[in-house]
Amino acid sequence: MSKPVPDPPANTPVSAHTHFATCNGTHPPLFAVCEGARMEDVLVHLTLSLASAYETNYQVCESASKPMQSLVWATQHSLEICQALVESLLKRKAESGLGLGLGTEDA
């Protein structure tokens, strides 16, 4: 039996206000993540930032001297893992239309 009036959409997950760029506490924060950004938008920006870090680090991998190569390649693998995790969440969202697997639906 279907309901004549559907349930209202669940709350869409959003970001919390978070500041960054304090240079290890040497000055007040310069930047902030704004409160209320949709989680999907946050993940898209995270994907772009990770892609930039990945490409930059890859160039360092190609030119690093032997003592540093293992550390730089470890960072490269960590960035690749992060990219895959974020892309997995975005892919699941696109395939299912559900709210990023967090138990909520986007409005």
Give the Cα separation of 107 and 103 in Å (integer). Answer: 13
Phi and psi at residue 56, to the nearest 5°? -65, -45
List the pLDDT tens digit at each of the 107 positions of the chain. 677 777 766 778 899 999 999 999 999 999 999 999 999 999 999 999 999 999 999 999 999 998 899 999 999 999 999 999 999 998 988 887 655 544 444 43
- Quickly count: other Cβ atoms within 10 Å of residue 39's Cβ: 18
Segments making up each domain of the chain, as ranges: 39-96
- Quickly count: other Cβ atoms within 10 Å of residue 27's Cβ: 9
